[in-house]
């Protein structure tokens, strides 16, 4: 029985799967098994996998049922003391498994660890930003709603009996399935963050926000929220603030894609509906938010623009501010 079972679902990733798997097999900690489930690929993914000669690698072909089903299939075959994950487009950095196994064995009360991670592009070049791992302990409210911390799946290591206790991935979820698992674990167990980058999370055209289906994201977000309401009622009424925060998180993201304005409005309204008296403040916030907070949200792009573009940008911001101020005055009268 290996110490760690590393689970990798894949689908049509012939160009990236070798690098992903090899980054796991090349770890300094070698007492592992790597379980790759091919979710019905129609490209050469299986052919590429067949060329990797390592007795620790086990490949399971399957029909296309989605990544949650693929991960669950691998979990059924996993025999390790600990479970770790990787995605077929992401990479482990050297020393990742060794550090986490050492920590987990020295801290038997910790059910799960996660780490920081860097961003890379399709070619493997480092990008700005990172996933932080700055919260530990009873962190349910800090991870179930994506703020202040989003846990990147490849950074996680969890004790196998904990997964058995809380349940596997929800196959009805095509989005948020990993966060849903962290939610269930952090609700009942101690989770520790190690703020050291151990993974490289790849950004490419296939996983950029604008390449996704906003209707699917909305449907999956509503499903995830329904699960929270049904399963986490014991977390008391102020869980509503968490739901509001999550709606706000995606409203902010959707606001950066002009074609998704209709979806943004729905999410923004849901955000305020969750807050006490939020319905009364929504008309004001509706006018202020998309032209002030959004401008701050894309400030990195603003800093790269020319002087003339910046002045135009600021002028638009002032116009919206003036309109919002006028609205507030009329409401006071």
pLDDT at residue 252, rounded to an integer? 79
Dihedral sign for Cα 59, 65, 67, 69, please: negative
pLDDT at residue 296, rounded to an integer? 43
Per the CATH hierarchy, to which homologous superfamily does domain 4-202 belong? Spore Coat Polysaccharide Biosynthesis Protein SpsA; Chain A (3.90.550.10)
Average pLDDT of the residues in 218-240: 84
Give the least confident one: 167-176, 228-237, 289-298: 289-298
Nearest to 164 by CA among 231, 75, 100: 75
Average pLDDT, the chain: 85
Give the least confident one: 24-38, 41-55, 252-266, 316-330: 316-330
Banded pLDDT at 269 (limits 50, 70, 90): confident
> Which of 4 and 276 is assigned the larger pLDDT?
4
φ/ψ (deg, to 5) at 108: -65, -15
* Nearby residues of 322 by Cβ (< 8 Å), 6 or more positions away: none
> Which of 252 and 97 is assigned the larger pLDDT?
97
pLDDT at residue 115, rounded to an integer? 98
> Which of 29 and 213 is assigned the larger pLDDT?
29
pLDDT at residue 104, rounded to an integer? 98
Nearest to 11 by CA among 215, 208, 212, 206: 206
Place of tokens 């990798």: 8
Banded pLDDT at 256 (limits 50, 70, 90): confident
Answer whether residue 243 shows pLDDT above 80. yes
Answer whether residue 57 shows pLDDT above 80. yes
| Domain range list for the chain | 4-202, 210-332
Nearest to 99 by CA among 29, 23, 200: 29
Banded pLDDT at 288 (limits 50, 70, 90): low
Answer whether residue 322 shows pLDDT above 80. no
Answer whether residue 50 shows pLDDT above 50. yes
Average pLDDT of the residues in 113-124: 95
Dihedral sign for Cα 114, 115, 121, 123, please: negative
pLDDT at residue 207, rounded to an integer? 61
Banded pLDDT at 311 (limits 50, 70, 90): low
Answer whether residue 137 shows pLDDT above 50. yes
Q: Buried b / exposed e across 214-238, counting CB within 10 Å, b at 16+?
A: beebbebbebbbebbeeebeeeeee
pLDDT at residue 84, rounded to an integer? 98
């Amino acid at each position: 029985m290996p110490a760690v079972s590393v689970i990798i679902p894949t689908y049509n990733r012939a160009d990236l799967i070798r690098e992903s798997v090899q980054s796991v097999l090349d770890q300094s900690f070698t007492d592992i098994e790597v379980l790759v489930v091919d979710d019905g690929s129609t490209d050469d993914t299986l052919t590429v996998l067949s060329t990797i000669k390592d007795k620790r690698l086990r490949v399971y072909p399957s029909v296309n049922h989605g990544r949650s089903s693929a991960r669950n299939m691998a979990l059924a075959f996993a025999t390790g003391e600990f479970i770790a994950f990787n995605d077929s487009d992401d990479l482990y950095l050297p020393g990742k498994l060794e550090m986490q196994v050492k920590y987990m064995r020295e801290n038997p009360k910790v059910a799960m660890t996660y780490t920081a991670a860097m961003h890379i592009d399709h070619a493997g070049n480092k990008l700005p930003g990172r996933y932080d791992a700055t919260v530990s302990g009873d962190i349910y409210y800090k991870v179930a709603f994506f703020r202040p911390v989003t846990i990147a799946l490849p950074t996680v290591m969890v004790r196998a009996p904990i997964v058995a206790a809380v349940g596997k991935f929800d196959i009805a979820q095509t989005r948020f399935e990993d966060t849903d698992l962290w939610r269930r674990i952090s609700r009942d167990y101690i989770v520790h963050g190690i703020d050291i980058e151990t993974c490289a999370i790849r950004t490419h055209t296939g996983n950029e926000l604008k390449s996704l289906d906003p209707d699917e994201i909305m449907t999956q977000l509503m499903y995830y929220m329904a699960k929270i309401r049904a399963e986490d009622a014991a977390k008391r009424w102020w869980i509503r603030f968490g739901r509001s925060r999550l709606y706000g998180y995606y409203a902010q993201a959707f606001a950066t894609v002009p074609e998704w304005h209709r979806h943004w409005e729905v999410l923004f309204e849901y955000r305020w509906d969750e807050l006490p008296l939020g319905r009364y403040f929504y008309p004001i916030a509706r006018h202020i938010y998309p032209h002030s907070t959004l401008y701050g949200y894309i400030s990195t792009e603003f800093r790269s623009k020319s002087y003339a573009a910046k002045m135009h940008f600021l002028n638009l911001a002032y116009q919206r501010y003036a309109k919002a101020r006028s609205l507030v005055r009329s409401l006071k009268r």
